[in-house]
Structure 1
Amino acid sequence: MRSFFKIFFATLLAFIVIIFFGMFILMGIIKSAVSPEVVTLSPNGVLVLETSQPYAEQKIVDPVNAVLRQGPKETPGLYDVVRLIRHAENDDDIKGIYLKADNNANGFATNEELRNALLRFKQSGKFIYAYGEVMDQKSYYVASLADKVYVHPKGGLEFSGFFTQLTFLKGALEKLEIQPQIFYDGRFKSATEPLRETQMTVANRIQTNAYLGDLYANFLKNIGASRKIDTVTLHRYANEGLIQEAADALKYKLVDGLKYNDQVMDEIKSRLGLSGDEKVNFISLSKYESATDVATGKGEDNRIAIIYAQGNIVGGDSEKDETISSGHFVKLIREARQDKDVKAIVFRVNSPGGSALASESIWRELTLAKKSKPVVVSMGDYAASGGYYISCMADSIFAQPNTLTGSIGVFAVLPNLQGFFKNKLGVTFDGVKTAQYADLGNTSRPLTEIEKKFIQNSVDSIYSTFKGRVVEGRKLSGVVVDSIAQGRVWSGVQAKELGLVDRIGGIDDAIKCAAKLAKVSAFRLREYPEAEAPFEKFVKSFAGEARMETAIRKELGEQYTVYQQIKHLKEMNGEIQAKLPYVMEIR
């Protein structure tokens, strides 16, 4: 028996040692896989930009892809891409850009930022070739500036005008006997319309027609300038449905030719002086970023902070990607505010809003920062409702013409699930309380009339505070702010005319303005939130939340917006929201 235990424990020890060293080796392999890649560029390169790639505000690191080799391990952020394109203008190793323009995963203002960067690159005299098998409208918008635009002979080009559709849940909620108890301020504040109407209200139709018209006008104007076709003619193409096949796009001069991929490659080879089986030296953006140092500037003690605020605004202290949690962002702003080397702050906002209370907390910290150094806001695809709340105090606000902003209004939704539980599931509730309103907000019963007044009074108070913040920050009268508030969504063009933003421009413009206000001519950039170490990102990725969301989106397809609406309804249960009207998708 003694011999048995001796052998057993020796074997167990050996097994533990093997596991330990195995894990040690595995971690070493993982760390190696996620470590930054050292890249050396070879001459005669062509930078590749894909419109189907979503460009978030900050670089996205995917260490799981790095380890499993399923795809790119990192994707540059939007401003990274802008800087890389700018660097390529004077890089002798880069001869041109190949724009792969099939689908487009980005918002209108993001595409505007990319397009403007490409226009500047084109002015350097280097070439841009664009090719797609089937180009959607947003892809074509970016591609239209290229020296040559080609589509697949049997593919096509979408050119049919813009369209947005809302999904109304009122009927479904009635069938389920779910009563959405709704409170709001602002006659254009249509965030709750899908829950209380079966079609768009007159006010909502007015605002949607207005901003959609502005987005479309900007679309036609810039394509027309690039293709030398007047906007009236372009609108006629769409309105009469003239672009149905690839040949139509060529006939009406929207593209320069119908070619297969190999034919486009041959033309690029000819442009580069290559022949035979020589391959084009295509360089991805992520590879180019690894080979260059363009991110922050060089050598100066002065700093300008860029704080990227992307996603829904929520309470708490979460550091989750694409979420603006008040606790986390207050810390980031405070760090930049108290750093004596930081001479100005550029607050990059790409948010449809969210929690009104969280928005107020972020507004407060930015207001404190403004007392010690300039604060400039740069707006992305959205800076609306809560996104505008956290922007309105800035010294200067920049937006793209197709940014959606404003939506100065608030609402609250508290569902009454009593009928659903009792009549659909056979579930009832009962309990005791020590005060009349101890269970206020309980979804298992309807609100009383007095309780409804309590909530509406809170909504009214927060709406009044919101408008007061705009009056103070934008130096507008209360009467003017009340007239342009009401929950109405405005395009960047409209917002500038109304005084809600100061200038039309992108991130670079905002940074130049911040430097001018801070009276610094040379500076380095400091970006917040700081990028996570790839290995830490790998460990966190096992939670799999982002990947789960991607899988759900892929599985549901067009019905994903319905899922989003139901999810958002659950998340905002009872909390007063400063948020965009609905899940907005423009095609």
Structure 2
Amino acid sequence: MRSFFKIFFATLLAFVVIIILGVIVLSGFIGSALSSEVVTLSPNSVLVLETSQQYNEQQVSNPLNAFLRQEPKNVPGVNDLVRLVKHAETDDNIKGIYLKADNNANGFATNEEVRNALLRFKQSGKFVLAYGETMDQKSYYIASLADKVYVHPKGGIEFNGFFTQLTFLKGALEKLEIQPQIFYDGRFKSATEPLRETEMTLANRIQTNAYLGDLYGNFLKNIGISRKIDTSSLHRFANEGLIQEAGDALKYKLVDGLKYNDQVMDEIKSRIGLKGSEDVSFVSISKYMSATDLTEDKGADNKIAVIYAEGNIVGGDSEKEGTISSGHFIKLIREARQDKEVKAIVFRVNSGGGSALASESIWRELVLAKKSKPVVVSMGDYAASGGYYISCMADTIFAQPNTLTGSIGVFAVLPNMQSFFKNKLGVTFDGVKTAEYADLGNTSRPLTEIEKRFIQNSIDSIYSTFKGRVVEGRKLSGPIVDSIAQGRVWSGVQAKQLGLVDRIGGISDAIRCAAGMAKVSSYRLREYPETDASISRMVKSFGVSARVDAAVKEELGDQYKIYQQLKEVKEMKGEIQAKLPYFMEIR
């Protein structure tokens, strides 16, 4: 027995030592990965922007990429990107910008932010050169502003006009014998259409034609200005399908030349005075962020709080990325409200909405903040439904012309799964209750007519409250708000005309406005939530849910959106929602 204990404890000790050494070694690797990279710029550097890179509202840190020595280690947020491009205007080391324009992973308003930042950069006298092998329309929209736009001789650009398509699930649900019991207010509230229709309703077609036309008009107008082509000609190019090959793009002056990559590199060398075999010092936007201090005024005591609200609005206290949880954001807003050094709040909203109750809770905290300091809202790609709910109280609202906003309406979905369980799975249910409505909302049976009235009454009450918040915040009359509500989605241009937003502009415009309202000339930005460049992010990147979701996406391909839509219906079961349709793709 004594021999057994000796071996056991010796083995245990060895195991503990190995674990400790492993932790020390791993911590060293992680510390190295998370440590700030020192980037030194050469005197003849060219900043590289890739349209295929997705830019979220806040910086995304990738410790795993840092650990594996892969790029990008950090991706700037939209506001960071705008400020970095502005900094490059006066950076003597940056001679110009090389815009790699192939695919585009960003929304229309985000692309507007990037494009406007590049237009301002051009005014510094430095060059912007764009090149792509095959440019989609959103990539070309940004590339069109460049001094020179080149495309691969065997590539081309997409120039076919815009379209959007909804996926309707009614037929699939009928085959599965699942009845989506739907309640809504607003004749344009199209979020439930995929569950109750097999095609777009007339109301939805009207609103979609209107905002899609505005987005397309903005697209053609700005390309026409940059390329010196009238919009009627651009419209004809798309309508007649004239741009099919790279040569067509050159013929109709959408690009300046057909070149291979090496030829583009030679032109960049020539622009910055390099010869022969000398290499261009290209600097990615990620590395430029590491080499740049974006602090506005380090000595300033005054702060402007920028709170980034991006994703689905939900109840609870989750700090999950891509989620605006009411409990978490109430704490963030309250912290900014109670901080005496914070003189104004910029609330950056990029959300198609979510829980109506969570939206109301966030709205309340913003109203309290507005009583003590200016609150300015800056809208991103979306600030619709619940996203508009949490915006409407602001002193001033900024939107891009191609922001999608409004959608003032609510709905709820309660699926009746009784026939599915019984006829498809052979499962039945029975139980006991102490009151008539104890099992209200149970998916194993249909709602009674009285229960349906209960739920519709709740929908009507919340819709009335939502409109009341807009009346109060936007200083509009009840009848006017009722006429422009009804769940209708508006473009930023339309929303400004209707009084739903105040100004057309981006996040930098909103920050300057907030500073002006607070009467501060020097300030620092205080950003919320704090970015998580930590070990926990590295651990999350190995997480089961992240890996499963990535595998499902790879396996389903284009059908992944249907999976997402069904998943979304499941998650919002029974809760009254103020949100857009889950999947709204415009191409």
Structure 1 residue 347: Cα displacement: 0.1
Q: 1:339-390: per-residue Cα shift (whole Å, max 9, x none)?
A: 0000000000000000000000000000000000000000000000000000
CA distance in 2, matches of 1:566, 1:177: 15
Equivalent position amino acid for 1:268 in 2: I
Contact kept, 8 Å, 1:355 with 1:577, in 2: the verdict is yes
2:361 alignment partner in structure 1 = 361
Q: Tell me the secondary structure at the aligned position of residue 317 of structure 2.
A: coil
2:34 alignment partner in structure 1 = 34
1:71 alignment partner in structure 2 = 71
Structure 1 residue 585: Cα displacement: 0.0
Q: 1:521-569: per-residue Cα shift (whole Å, max 9, x none)?
A: 1111100001124223223333254454344333322212211210110
Structure 1 residue 2: Cα displacement: 4.2
Structure 1 residue 8: Cα displacement: 5.0
Q: Tell me the secondary structure at the aligned position of residue 422 of structure 2.
A: helix
Equivalent position amino acid for 2:19 in 1: I
Structure 1 residue 7: Cα displacement: 4.9
Equivalent position amino acid for 1:260 in 2: Y
In structure 2, relative to structure 1, the CA distance for the partners of 1:424 and 1:11 (3 Å cut) is closer
1:510 alignment partner in structure 2 = 510
Q: 1:454-504: per-residue Cα shift (whole Å, max 9, x none)?
A: 000000000000000000000000000000000000000000000000000
1:16 alignment partner in structure 2 = 16
Q: 1:132-187: per-residue Cα shift (whole Å, max 9, x none)?
A: 11000000000000011011111110000001011100001000000000000000
CA distance in 2, matches of 1:297, 1:347: 21
Contact kept, 8 Å, 1:224 with 1:234, in 2: the verdict is yes
Q: Tell me the secondary structure at the aligned position of residue 242 of structure 1.
A: coil
CA distance in 1, matches of 2:556, 2:78: 27
Equivalent position amino acid for 2:257 in 1: G
CA distance in 2, matches of 1:533, 1:71: 15
CA distance in 2, matches of 1:2, 1:471: 82
Q: Tell me the secondary structure at the aligned position of residue 442 of structure 2.
A: coil
Contact kept, 8 Å, 1:297 with 1:525, in 2: the verdict is no
1:456 alignment partner in structure 2 = 456
1:299 alignment partner in structure 2 = 299
1:80 alignment partner in structure 2 = 80
Q: Tell me the secondary structure at the aligned position of residue 398 of structure 1.
A: strand
Q: Tell me the secondary structure at the aligned position of residue 42 of structure 1.
A: coil
Written as runs of structure 1 = structure 2, the 5 A alignment for 1:77-476 is 77-476=77-476
Q: 1:48-100: per-residue Cα shift (whole Å, max 9, x none)?
A: 00000000000001112222334322111111000000000000000000001
Structure 1 residue 295: Cα displacement: 4.3
- 257-266 or 396-405, which deviates more: 257-266
2:59 alignment partner in structure 1 = 59
2:526 alignment partner in structure 1 = 526
CA distance in 2, matches of 1:41, 1:399: 35
CA distance in 2, matches of 1:133, 1:555: 27
Q: 1:253-306: per-residue Cα shift (whole Å, max 9, x none)?
A: 000111111110111111111122211100011111111101453210001000
1:480 alignment partner in structure 2 = 480
Equivalent position amino acid for 2:136 in 1: D
Contact kept, 8 Å, 2:418 with 2:445, in 1: the verdict is yes
Contact kept, 8 Å, 2:61 with 2:533, in 1: the verdict is no
Equivalent position amino acid for 1:450 in 2: I
In structure 2, relative to structure 1, the CA distance for the partners of 1:32 and 1:429 (3 Å cut) is same
Structure 1 residue 35: Cα displacement: 1.7
Equivalent position amino acid for 1:25 in 2: V
CA distance in 2, matches of 1:471, 1:18: 65
CA distance in 2, matches of 1:139, 1:322: 24
Structure 1 residue 3: Cα displacement: 5.1
CA distance in 1, matches of 2:425, 2:71: 45
- 575-584 or 302-311, which deviates more: 575-584
Contact kept, 8 Å, 2:102 with 2:139, in 1: the verdict is yes
CA distance in 1, matches of 2:4, 2:203: 84
- 150-159 or 526-535, which deviates more: 526-535
In structure 2, relative to structure 1, the CA distance for the partners of 1:561 and 1:295 (3 Å cut) is farther
Q: 1:505-528: per-residue Cα shift (whole Å, max 9, x none)?
A: 000110111011111111111000
Contact kept, 8 Å, 1:35 with 1:534, in 2: the verdict is no
Contact kept, 8 Å, 1:190 with 1:582, in 2: the verdict is no
CA distance in 2, matches of 1:157, 1:540: 38
CA distance in 2, matches of 1:6, 1:557: 57
1:579 alignment partner in structure 2 = 579
Structure 1 residue 21: Cα displacement: 1.2
- 567-576 or 22-31, which deviates more: 22-31
CA RMSD of aligned residues (A): 1.2
Equivalent position amino acid for 2:557 in 1: G
Equivalent position amino acid for 1:451 in 2: E
Give me the TM-score of the superposition, normalised by structure 2: 0.98
* Percent identity (aligned): 82
Contact kept, 8 Å, 2:176 with 2:420, in 1: the verdict is yes
Q: Tell me the secondary structure at the aligned position of residue 69 of structure 1.
A: coil
Equivalent position amino acid for 1:300 in 2: A
- 151-160 or 35-44, which deviates more: 35-44
Q: Tell me the secondary structure at the aligned position of residue 324 of structure 1.
A: strand
Structure 1 residue 26: Cα displacement: 1.4
Structure 1 moving runs of 4+ over 4 Å = 1-5
Contact kept, 8 Å, 2:186 with 2:410, in 1: the verdict is yes
Q: Note the residue ranges of structure 1 that are not aligned, 5 or more in a row.
A: none
Contact kept, 8 Å, 1:144 with 1:223, in 2: the verdict is yes
Q: Tell me the secondary structure at the aligned position of residue 96 of structure 1.
A: strand
Q: 1:178-210: per-residue Cα shift (whole Å, max 9, x none)?
A: 000000000000110011101000000000000
Equivalent position amino acid for 2:126 in 1: K
Equivalent position amino acid for 1:288 in 2: Y
CA distance in 2, matches of 1:295, 1:442: 53
- 271-280 or 229-238, which deviates more: 271-280
Q: Tell me the secondary structure at the aligned position of residue 154 of structure 1.
A: strand
Q: 1:91-150: per-residue Cα shift (whole Å, max 9, x none)?
A: 000000000100000000000000000000001000011111100000000000001101
Q: Tell me the secondary structure at the aligned position of residue 17 of structure 1.
A: helix
CA distance in 1, matches of 2:236, 2:382: 29
Equivalent position amino acid for 2:436 in 1: Q
In structure 2, relative to structure 1, the CA distance for the partners of 1:493 and 1:250 (3 Å cut) is same
Structure 1 residue 45: Cα displacement: 0.3
CA distance in 2, matches of 1:216, 1:297: 39
Contact kept, 8 Å, 2:295 with 2:524, in 1: the verdict is no
Contact kept, 8 Å, 2:47 with 2:285, in 1: the verdict is yes
CA distance in 2, matches of 1:483, 1:291: 51
Structure 1 residue 29: Cα displacement: 1.1
